[in-house]
């Protein structure tokens, strides 16, 4: 019985390795991916060696123990093969992207905004003209001085100047309150709703301008020219215990769409004084949504008529300013397109925003590393093609920057096969050129 129990333990370990082997390249594991890879290879190899070493003694064991041992061996071998079969295509895609036609890579790369963990790898992408923007995350600034951060950003922009290309978009999440990714080194501020609560309109506008000016000046001092703020989702006080990251009620300005509209406009105007663009987020509004798109798919079931009278008012008001970008969330707007997240949806982007509303400002997706995008029906590769064809301008891949390679590989294939709509890309290029950094 003891030997059977030991064999079952080994089988459980092999099965656990196999489960991880199928999914180890998912964005969830990016921070530990190198360790997971080493653990999978080492653990599975150790089990294979152990089972082979025990093989001679198995003749004396019961039939059940022998069968279980064979299952351990087969499962461990399968885990090794699975890891290899996932890693080999990724490395092939990475190679193909880095050796793609430079002109095509630049054409598609201008639509990509990426995060990074290794500055040398990022610099290589910029040298290859393979990206149009960079997302600065807390991991890139923690423990570093403002001068060090500015030095790295300036080095990237110098590459662009040498290439004769427009400056990169250097983006950050600096809303204030719980989302203050650049603090430190920038000064920490309370959430914007604390300064938007003045009853007197003139006082409220002045307070918001001062608040945003502090942010804009700080961001500009680091070389950041695009801020993913303000949050213009209305505050419906939705309480979801499974919402770990979105937490709109902790970030929203107000439930009153008129106040949110006014604050968003003042905020964007103040940032623009420092050549920093604002971003209205997260369309179509997450204030009513139960769920967290970082962790799973989520739905917004409210009718377009009701959204038009409330949630969409701040977006439509502030979107009149050509300087304001708009971020598309990964929520499903079920009344218009139950099958795709808004960020990939032609019905919402081409039909509603570009078509019905005639909006010609820049649209950027939320981070494609989020599960609602990564696990969507189209996946990141198909979803990105859909997004650009629908009229989205910038694709954000911030948390797990390595997803850039399968996404760009898919775009290169779509360009080669004629599946990218050149008219949509040309219109997007025009929008990006008119709003390029420093063109205010």
Return the minimum-mean-pLDDT range out of 54-68, 139-153, 243-257.
54-68
327 assigned to some structural domain: yes
Q: Is 412 a domain residue?
A: yes
Which of 50, 80, 96 is at the close of a domain? Answer: 96
Q: For the residues 352-368, what does the mean pLDDT come to? A: 97
Q: Are 428 and 350 in contact (CB under 8 A)?
A: no
pLDDT (tens digit, 9 = 90+) per residue, 159-207?
999 999 999 999 999 999 999 999 999 999 999 999 887 778 889 999 9
Strand 174-176, strand 179-180: pairing: antiparallel
* Residue 198 near residue 192, CB atoms below 8 Å: no
- pLDDT above 90 (res 399): yes
My answer on whether 277 and 354 are in the same domain is yes
Compute φ and ψ for 421, nearest 5 degrees: -80, 115
Q: What is the pLDDT of residue 75?
A: 87
Confidence band for 264, pLDDT divided at 50, 70 and 90: very high
Give a yes or no: residue 440 inside a domain.
Answer: no
Most confident of 10-24, 29-43, 59-73, 244-258: 244-258
Domain boundary among 48, 72, 96: 96
Task: Determine, yes or no, domain membership for 194.
Answer: yes
CATH number for the domain that contains residue 240: 3.20.20.300
pLDDT digits (tens, 9 = 90+) for 419-430: 999 999 999 999
Residue 102 has pLDDT above 80, yes or no: yes
In this structure, the answer to whether residues 201 and 159 fall within a common structural domain is yes
Lowest pLDDT segment from 13-17, 226-230, 251-255:
13-17
For residue 97, name the pLDDT band (cuts at 50, 70, 90): very high
What pLDDT does residue 70 have? 78
Q: Does pLDDT of 58 surpass 60? A: no
Rounded CA-CA distance 65/5 in Å is 9
Residue 387: Cβ-neighbour burial (10 angstroms; 0-12, 13-18, 19+): buried
Q: Determine the pLDDT at residue 254.
A: 95
Cβ contact 84:397 at 8 Å:
no
**24 shares a domain with 151:** no
Quick one: 90 and 107 in the same domain?
no
pLDDT of amino acid 1: 55
Residue 2 reports pLDDT greater than 70: no
Q: What angle do CA 435, 438, 439 make, to 5 degrees?
A: 45
* 184 and 281 both lie in a single domain: yes
Tokens matching residue 272: 């623009």
Convert the pLDDT of each residue in 279-313 to its tens digit. 999 999 999 999 999 999 999 999 999 999 999 99
pLDDT in the model for residue 4: 62
How do strand 395-397 and strand 112-114 relate by DSSP bridges? parallel
With respect to residue 439, please indicate whether it lies within any of the assigned structural domains: no
pLDDT (0 to 100) of residue 186: 96
Q: Say if residue 64 is in the same domain as residue 136.
A: no
Residues 90, 107 share a domain: no
Looking at the structure, tell me whether residues 123 and 81 fall in a common domain. no
Say if residue 56 is in the same domain as residue 189.
Answer: no
Rg (CA), the chain: 25
92 plus 168 within the same structural domain = no
Identify whether residues 373 and 390 lie together within a single domain. Answer: yes
Task: Convert 82-125 into a string of H (helix), E (strand) and C (coil).
Answer: HHHHHHHHHHHHHHHHHCCCHHHHHHHHCCEEECCCCHHHHHHH
Q: Is 180 left (phi over 0), alpha (psi -120 to 50) or beta?
A: beta
**Looking at residue 348, what DSSP letter applies?**
I
Residue 353, in any domain of the structure: yes
Which H or E run includes 14? helix 2-23
Residue 74: the pLDDT is 87
The domain in which residue 8 lies consists of: 2-96
* pLDDT (mean) for 135-155: 96
Confidence of residue 65 (pLDDT cuts 50, 70, 90): low
Res 283: pLDDT:
98
Banded pLDDT at 364 (limits 50, 70, 90): very high
- Give the number of other CB atoms < 10 A from CB of residue 318: 26
Q: Is residue 243 part of a domain?
A: yes
% of the chain surpassing 70 pLDDT: 96
Please tell me the total count of domains within the chain. 2
Q: What percent of the chain has pLDDT over 90?
A: 74
Same domain, 268 and 330: yes
Alpha-carbon distance of 156 to 140, in angstroms, equals 14
Write down the pLDDT at residue 63: 66
For 207-227, what is each residue's pLDDT tens digit?
999 999 999 999 999 999 999
Least confident of 40-49, 266-275, 327-336, 361-370: 40-49
Domain limit, last residue, from 70, 96, 122: 96
Distance CA 39, CA 49 (A): 15
Q: Does 429 sit behind a cis peptide bond, omega within 30 degrees of 0 on the bond before it?
A: no
| C-alpha span between 111 and 123 (Å, rounded) | 17
Cα distance between residue 348 and residue 338, in whole Å: 11
CA 422 – CA 419 distance, rounded (Å): 9
**Looking at the predicted structure, is the pLDDT value of residue 158 above 60?**
yes
């Amino acid at each position: 019985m003891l030997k059977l129990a030991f064999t079952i333990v080994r089988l459980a370990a092999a099965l656990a390795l196999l489960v991880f082997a199928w999914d180890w390249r998912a964005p969830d594991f990016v921070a530990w991916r190198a360790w997971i890879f080493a653990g999978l290879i080492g653990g599975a190899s150790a089990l294979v060696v152990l089972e082979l070493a025990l093989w001679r003694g198995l003749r004396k064991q019961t039939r059940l123990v022998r069968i279980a041992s064979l299952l351990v061996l087969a499962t461990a071998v399968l885990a090794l093969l699975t890891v290899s079969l996932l890693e080999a295509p990724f490395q092939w895609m990475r190679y193909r992207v880095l050796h793609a036609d430079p002109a095509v890579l630049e054409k598609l790369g201008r639509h990509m905004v990426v995060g990074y963990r290794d500055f040398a790898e990022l610099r290589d992408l910029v040298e290859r003209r393979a990206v149009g923007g960079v997302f600065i995350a807390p991991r890139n600034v923690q423990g570093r001085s403002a001068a060090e951060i500015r030095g790295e950003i300036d080095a990237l922009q110098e590459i662009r100047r040498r290439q004769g290309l427009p400056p990169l978009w250097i983006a950050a999440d600096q809303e204030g309150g719980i989302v203050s990714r650049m603090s430190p080194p920038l000064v920490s501020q309370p959430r914007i709703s604390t300064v938007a609560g003045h009853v007197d309109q003139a006082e409220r506008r002045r307070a918001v301008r001062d608040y945003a000016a502090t942010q804009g000046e700080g961001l500009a001092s680091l070389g950041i020219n695009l801020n993913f703020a303000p949050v213009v989702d209305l505050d419906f006080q939705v309480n979801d215990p499974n919402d770990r990251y979105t937490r709109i009620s902790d970030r929203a300005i107000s439930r009153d769409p008129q106040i949110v509209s006014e604050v968003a406009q003042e905020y964007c105007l103040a940032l623009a004084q420092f050549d920093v663009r604002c971003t209205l987020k997260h369309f179509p509004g997450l204030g009513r949504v139960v769920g967290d798109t970082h962790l799973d798919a989520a739905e917004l079931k409210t009718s377009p008529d009701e959204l038009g009278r409330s949630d969409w008012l701040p977006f439509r008001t502030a979107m009149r300013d050509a300087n304001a970008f708009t971020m598309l969330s990964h929520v499903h707007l079920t009344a218009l397109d139950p099958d795709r997240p808004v960020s990939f949806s032609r019905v919402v982007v081409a039909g509603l925003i570009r078509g019905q509303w005639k909006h010609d400002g820049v649209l950027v997706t939320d981070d494609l590393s989020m599960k609602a995008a990564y696990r969507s029906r189209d996946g990141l590769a198909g979803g990105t093609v859909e997004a650009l064809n629908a009229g989205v301008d910038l694709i954000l891949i911030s948390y797990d920057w390595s997803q850039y390679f399968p996404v760009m590989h898919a775009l290169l294939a779509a360009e080669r096969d004629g599946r990218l709509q050149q008219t949509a890309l040309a219109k997007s290029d025009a929008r990006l050129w008119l709003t390029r950094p420093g063109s205010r």
